[in-house]
Amino acid sequence: MVKKQHWLESRTLTPEKLALARQVLADVRAGRPVAEAVRRHPVKGGHINKSTLVAAYNQLVASGDWQPDPHLLARIRLKPVRTLSGVTTVTVLTKPYPCPGQCIFCPQEARMPKSYFSDEPGAMRAVEHDFDPYAQVRSRLEALEAVGHPTDKIELLILGGTWSSYRRDYQEWFVRRCFEALNAEDSYPRVRTLSQCPSGRARGEIGENNSANSAFAAVKSLAEMHVDNETAPHRNVGLVVETRPDEITLHELAWFRHLGVTKVQMGAQSLDDHILEINQRGHTVAETRRAVALSRAAGFKIVLHWMPNLLGATLDSDRADFPRLWEGLCPDEIKIYPCQLLENAPLFEYWQRGEYQPYTQEELTALIADVKPTIPRYCRVNRVIRDIPSTHVVAGNKRTSLRQDVHAEMRRRGTRCNCIRCREVRAQDVETDSLKLEDLFYAADGAEEHFLSFVTPEDKIAGFLRLSLPDPDSPSTDMTDLAEAAIIREVHIYGQSLLVGEEGNGAAQHAGLGTRLLKEAKKIAGERGFRRVAVIAAVGTRKYYLERGFERGELYLVKALSGK
C-alpha cells in the first residue's frame, strides 16, 4: 500500500501553482463566488481544488504577504459542516482484540476490531497506519488542515470493540500516544511504533501496570502529556471511549478519569430483556440502567446506541421500545444503528433459515421518521445508520444516506425533530441580545438534570450547559471531588470552530456565552443547597475553567459556592 504524504513533509506549493491559486483567492476576496473564481482560472486537465487553495492561503499568510482572513478561509474550506459544531472530531481505532460480547448481529473481519470493516472510512486510516494512534491522529490533523479546518480544539473519539476489555497498560499507552500527537509541533520526532506497545489482555486497577511503560522511560508520562496539552497547539476538548454497560464499575470510571475520558458510549441496543437475550447481547436492561446512572453520577456525558430490527423485534415493538430511552436513562446523545444483515455475522444463518427478515428501506425510513420527532430537546442524534459500505449488506436497507431520507420523509409529513443536532446555529450569525436563556429540567435515574441553553428567536441553539444535581438515590462514586457537589457535565458553544484567540463577527463561540451559562449553573446549584460545583473538564479545557475560579481536584475541577 502506498502511504500518503506524511504530516512532517512540506506542503509548500510550486511558484506556478501558488501564483494561480493566488489569482483565484484574490477573486474570492473581491466577492466572487468560489466556484466561479475557480472556473475563471482553469488548469490543464481541470480546475484547482480547495485543498490547494487552502495550502496557498496558508503559505501566503505564513510568508507575510497576506494578513489572516478568517472569512476567506471559511469560504474555501472543504465540508465546513465537519466543524460547525464548534469542535473538530478526530477518530482513531484500537488494534484488533477479543471482545467479551457474543452478539449475533456483530460481524467479525480478520485483523480488524470486532464489528468493524477494513473498508469503512475511519477504519481505512487505522489500517493504513497499522493502528498506531500517533500516526492516525497526525494523519487526520494533516487532512483536516489541508482543507482549511481549525485543529486547535479536538474531540478525540476512540473506537474499536470494547475499550474496557483491553489491558490497561495498552489503554494508557494508546491515550498517551494520542496526546503525544496532539501536543506535537510539526518537527516532533516520529518514534515508538505499534510493535513496541504493550499487549495482552490482563486487566488491573489504576497504577497496577505502570511498570509496563518502563521501556518508554525517556517519554513523558500520561499526566505530563495532559499538562502539556493544556497549552498545546491541538487541545483536547473531549475524549470519548465506547464500552458495554456490564463493564461499568466505580473503578472503571475512576480509571476513565485518569485517562482523561469525558464521554462514554454504550450499546444499549434494546430496552427489552427478551430481545437482548435472543440476540446474545450478554447484559440486561437493569445493567444498562445501573451503568447509565453510575456514569451520570460521575459526571460523564452519555451516548447510547439503539438498534431497531434486531432478531425478534418488529416495527411495532421498536416503536414501543424507543420511548423507554427517555424513562430514566435520558441519554445526552444517541446513535440509531439499525441492525444490518452482514454475511460474516451469526445473524446471517438465522436469515438463511428464514428466522430473520430485515426491514426494507421504506419501512426503516418510516420507522425512524415516526420516532425522531419524539426525541427530547436535550438529546443529540449523532447518527442514524452505521457507515458500513453497502457491498457488505446482504439484504434490507443499503443506503448510508438514511438520515437525509428520514428528514425528507419528515418534511413530507410536516413534522420536525427537535434534537440538538437539528437545532444547532452552525454558521448562522448570533446576536447575543436576541438570545433567550432556557432551563429545561427533567428527572433522570439518580439526578435532576438541567439543560441550560441560549436559544435564538428561530429556536436554534447557540450554546448549552448540562448541570446534574444528584438526588439522595444517586449512586455513590466514592470520589472526593464529587462530595456534596453539583456536577457540570458539559459546556458547549456552537458555531464554526474558531482558532484560540480568533474573533468572528457574530460567532457564538466568542460571545461570552460559556461564562454566562456557568454563572447560571452555579446560581441553581447554590439555591438547591450544594456546597460546591464540580466540572468534568477535558484536558484541553482546564485552563478555561481555572481562569473562571475553579481549582484542580483529584480527577475533576471544583469550585466552592460562596455562603455555603
The region that residue 529 occupies, defined by phi over 0 for left and psi between -120 and 50 for alpha, beta otherwise, is left
- Model pLDDT, residue 290: 98
pLDDT, tens digit, 9 for 90 and up, residues 334-351:
999 999 999 999 999 999
Distance CA 124, CA 270 (A): 29
Which residue did the predictor score with more confidence, 16 or 291? 291
* Percent with pLDDT over 90 in the chain: 65
Confidence of residue 323 (pLDDT cuts 50, 70, 90): very high
Q: Is the pLDDT of residue 43 over 50?
A: yes
Among 328, 245, 311, 251, which residue's Cα sits nearest to residue 283?
Answer: 245
State residue 143's pLDDT score. 85
**Residues 6+ positions from 269 with CB-CB distance below 8 Å:** 103, 275, 276, 279, 281, 305, 306, 307, 310
Structural fold of domain 432-560: Aminopeptidase (3.40.630)
Confidence of residue 188 (pLDDT cuts 50, 70, 90): very low
pTM: 0.85
What SS3 state is found at 123?
A: helix
The C-alpha atoms of residue 299 and residue 467 are separated, in whole angstroms, by: 9
Res. 462: pLDDT tops 80 = yes
CA distance 99 to 109: 13
262-423: CATH topology is: Transcription Regulator spoIIAA (3.30.750)
pLDDT band of 147, cuts 50, 70, 90: confident
What integer is the mean pLDDT of 525-550? 97
pLDDT higher than 60, residue 317: yes
Report the pLDDT value the prediction gives residue 63, as an integer from 0 to 100. 83
**pLDDT value at 449 more than 60:** yes
Domain boundaries of the chain, sorted by first residue: 15-76, 89-248, 262-423, 432-560
Residue 490 has pLDDT above 50, yes or no: yes
564 pLDDT higher than 70: no
> Is 50 exceeded by the pLDDT of residue 203?
no
- Spatial distance between the Cα atoms of 514 and 520, rounded to a whole number of angstroms: 10
Give the closest residue to 396 by CA, choosing from 325, 307, 316. 307
Q: Cell digits for 224? A: 505530563
- Render pLDDT for 348-383 as a digit per residue (tens, 0 to 9): 999 999 999 999 999 999 999 999 999 999 999 999
User: What integer pLDDT is reported at residue 499 of this predicted model?
Assistant: 42
- In this prediction, what percent of the chain has a pLDDT beyond 70? 86
- Radius of gyration (Cα) for the chain, nearest Å? 24
Question: Mean per-residue pLDDT for 174-191?
Answer: 77
State residue 505's pLDDT score. 45
Q: Could you tell me which of 416, 415, 426, 423 has the C-alpha nearest to residue 440? A: 423
What pLDDT does 265 receive?
97
The pLDDT value given to residue 196: 55
pLDDT of residue 511 exceeding 70, the answer is no
